[in-house]
Amino acid sequence: MATEKSMPFRKVIAIIRGEALGKVEQRLHELGVPGISVTRVNGYGEYKNFYNSDWITSHARVETFVPARRADEIAQAIMEAACSGVV
C-alpha cells in the first residue's frame, strides 16, 4: 500500500487597497493559484484617512493556501500587483 506524502502548505494573507484587488486577482490567476478568499475589512494604521471623522479606511483581505515552496513567490506577486508606487 502506497503512503501519500503530505505537501506542506503556507497560508498567505495580504491586506490591500480595494482598488488593487482586480490586479491582484488577475496576477494570482496567471500564476495558477487555484483559489483565494477575499474579505472586506476596515481599519486604520500608519496611513489614516484624515478626511473621515473616525479615520477608518476600507481594504480587501486576500487569503490563499499555497505549497510552501511557492509562498514567497506568491507573496511577492501580490506586493507587486498591489503596489501603488507611492512611498
Q: What is the pLDDT of residue 47?
A: 64
Q: What is the pLDDT of residue 84?
A: 84
Nearest alpha-carbon partner for 78 in 23, 32, 34: 23
Q: What is the pLDDT of residues 19-42, one digit of tens each?
A: 999 999 999 999 999 999 999 998
Q: Are 34 and 24 in contact (CB under 8 A)?
A: no
What does the block give as the cell for 27? 496576477
Domains of the chain: 10-82 (3.30.70.120)
Q: Are 38 and 61 in contact (CB under 8 A)?
A: yes
Q: What is the pLDDT of residues 40-59, one digit of tens each?
A: 998 877 666 666 667 778 89
Q: pLDDT-based confidence at 77, cuts 50/70/90?
A: very high
Q: What is the pLDDT of residue 31?
A: 97
